Amino acid sequence: MKKWVYIICFLLIFVIAIFTGKYLYNYFNKENDNTVQNENYYPSEIEVNDEYLNEVDTIQTITEEEKISPNAVLVLKKQYIECGHTIKEYSQIPEDLVNLNKEQLIKEYPDWEIDNFSSLEVDLLKQVEGVCNEHYILRDNEGIITVYKINNDGQEVLFEDTGISTEYLTINDRMKIEEGIKVYGKEELNSVLEDYE
């Protein structure tokens, strides 16, 4: 019988401990709750100044404005009026152009027109008088095919003595060489010379 009394006492103590623990847990959580449920604590409306909004828009526009990256490529395009060709020169962006925006770049290159502007590539275009430096003419010079480069003034300047003899060319090819064969670009020049070798 004593055994039953101990078991019942133990169960009562256990149930009382559970209820006491739950009560204390809820009590301390309510006291430590830092959230305020008072509706007057937070303002219902926030007054916003129009000037402030304009400043925020301006700052946002400035920060979104594209600027030249240190890894950008600068492409200078020279468009020659007389021959109509465009020669491109590629280079890494100079240090003094890094972090410039489009308007600042225009001030740095007033004689150039911006053809393309992004953070990674800047293309500048300029119209140039004369012909580009990619024009060649092949002529017969004492029985040897000689290459002349045509400069801006239209004058022929010796570029290369090929060592290819005109003696073994067909009559038609010799006549063309005597008149002068005009070619554009080094690729076309090499291709024409290969045909005569």
Number of structural domains in the chain: 2
Beta carbons of 178 and 140 less than 8 angstroms apart = yes
pTM of the model: 0.53
The Cα–Cα gap between 186 and 134 comes to: 7
pLDDT per position as a tens digit, 110-154: 888 988 888 899 999 998 887 888 889 999 888 888 899 988 777
139 within a domain of the structure (yes/no):
yes
Q: What is the DSSP letter of 95?
A: G
141 within a domain of the structure (yes/no):
yes
Q: CA angle, corner 71, sides to 67 and 76, nearest 5?
A: 80
Range of the domain at 156: 135-196
- pLDDT confidence of 105, banded at 50, 70, 90? confident
pLDDT per position as a tens digit, 32-64: 554 444 444 444 444 555 565 555 555 545 556
32 within a domain of the structure (yes/no):
no
